[in-house]
Amino acid sequence: MTATINSQLNDITNSLRAFSLKLTGNDVDAHDLYQDTAYRIMSNADKFRAGTNFKAWAVTIMRNIFINNYRKKVRRGTILDETPNNYYLNSGAKAIQNDGESNASYKELLKMVAKLPEEFKRPFWMAYKGYKYDEIAEELDAPLGTIKSRIFFARRKLRQMYKTANAIRA
């Protein structure tokens, strides 16, 4: 059985290497992913059913390894806030400078938000105040997707208003 698996693995090596490069985007990580996949295939050779598609089985293993490794990387870069609402905070080392307060005063923002249609205004303010999307959806008795799109469109309208206000000043 192992000889057959090894032979089939050799037959699809080029395809697996190409797929690993597509997933990872760089040669070093692609090579590591391929090695992990080959090891997993060999160590689980007894789980492969003869007569099924070996390449599909191998690609599924590779995809699952990639996804699991990605999730591990994300978890390593995230800290858990133990507050009751369980927010996940990004613990990245780089701080991003926010010039929002220096470019537009809070009063200007209030005026712009007041001009938004009511269906965009309330979800936007709730998000601004720190509510999570699912909390906003529950409070407003609306689907989560609707809330996300309303907040997205509110931000886009505010950006347009801000650009227009700056163009007038300039």
Give the mean pLDDT of 51-76: 88
pLDDT of the residue at 95: 57
The continuous run of DSSP H or E covering 17 comes out as: helix 2-24
Q: Is the pTM of this model over 0.75?
A: no
| 8 and 74 part of one domain | yes
**Residue 80: phi, psi to the nearest 5?**
-100, 125
40-50 pLDDT tens trace = 999 988 888 88
Domain carrying residue 155: 100-169
**Which position has the higher pLDDT, 60 or 87?**
60
Radius of gyration over every alpha carbon of the chain, rounded to an integer in angstroms: 25
By DSSP bridging, strand 78-80 and strand 88-90 are antiparallel
Give the pLDDT score at 46: 87
Position with higher pLDDT, 110 vs 105:
110
Indicate the pLDDT class of residue 164, thresholds 50, 70 and 90: confident
Tokens read off for 151: 């907040």
Residue 48 is classified by DSSP as P
Q: 119: domain CATH number?
A: 1.10.10.10
**Where is pLDDT greater, at 84 or 25?**
25
**Is 16 found in the same domain as 57?**
yes
In contact, 124 and 116? CB cutoff 8 Å: yes
* Rounded CA separation 56/19 (Å): 12
